Amino acid sequence: MKLRKILALTLAVLLAMAVFCSCSSQQPVTQESEKTETESDLAYMQDKGEMVIGITLFEPMNYYEGDELVGFETEFAKAVCEKLGVNPVFQEIDWGSKEIELNSKNIDCIWNGLTITDERKENMAITEPYMNNRQVMITKAENVEAYSNSVAGLDVIAEVDSTGYELIEDDEFFAEANATAVDSQAKALMDVAAGTSDVAVVDYVSSIGSIGEGTDYADLVVAPNEFPGDEYGVAFRKGSDAAEEVTKAMKELAADGTLAQIAEKYGLQDLITVE
């Protein structure tokens, strides 16, 4: 009888110790889980005092006048960052590696004429659209009539991993063209102007102020071909709370007229969609 009592007491102690150890080992996991769920991407930027913005250079969005970075996106981002209490830091990136740069935290967002697509919405947190856009064909004026009818056998160029390059790959009109990807829309325009390529497919906004009379590419024109339209948004890491806050700041800038003033400065006032 005495032996049974000792065994029962021993089992009770062992069971209590097992429960205690189990609870102790589970507690840090719970705390870490709660930390992950409540972690704020916006707070991360505000704590370090800056938003690192991934860009490529193309007019009229982000480009240099002398040593100064200017452009619609540049001024727009600065105005939004002021409302969020962070300093904008503009960092040039390889457009083909933009999501890698974002997820590794080398940059905090992609703000450079990023087209909103279903695939991107699955992989990133994106603001509400702020601008309409479409893809256009750019070629030399002397070739526009012929090339607007057919690009079979021609060298057609676009920025890597861009909506323009996707159009070349997917649209039947380009089925018999020779597609080439380059690292920027500016490079695509340069190649057409130099005669290295026949046609560039770029964002419509890239053609505003970049080609035609009074520009470095006076002999380049937009072909009359019509392609589906798209919209721009600002992309953050998947699950980021910053996208919603940036959308709010955009709407405030639209309401007080600041956004319209910036857009008009760069000839983009008719494309703004924020209300």
The CATH number corresponding to 133-229 among 1.10.3720.10, 3.40.630.30, 3.40.190.10, 3.40.50.300 equals: 3.40.190.10
Kindly report, residue by residue over 184-235, the tens digit of the pLDDT.
999 999 999 999 999 999 999 989 888 988 888 999 999 999 998 999 999 9
CA-to-CA distance for 83 and 33, rounded, in angstroms?
Answer: 31
Q: Report the topology of domain 44-132+231-271.
A: D-Maltodextrin-Binding Protein; domain 2 (3.40.190)
CA distance 71 to 90: 12
Cα separation values, 74 from 64, 156, 160, 262, 273, Å: 10, 29, 22, 10, 18
pTM > 0.85:
no
| Cβ atoms of residues 134 and 204 within 8 Å | yes
Query: pLDDT per position in the chain (275 positions), as tens?
Result: 444 444 444 544 444 554 444 444 444 444 433 334 458 999 999 999 999 999 999 889 999 999 999 999 999 999 999 999 999 999 999 998 999 999 999 999 999 999 999 999 999 999 999 999 999 999 999 999 999 999 999 999 999 989 999 999 999 999 999 999 998 999 999 999 999 999 999 999 989 888 988 888 999 999 999 998 999 999 999 999 999 999 999 999 999 999 999 999 999 999 999 98
3-class secondary-structure state, position 94: coil
Where are the chain's structural domains?
44-132+231-271, 133-229
Burial class of residue 87 in the structure, from the number of CB atoms within 10 Å of its CB (0-12 exposed, 13-18 middle, 19+ buried) = middle
Pairwise CA distance, residues 134 & 202, whole Å: 9
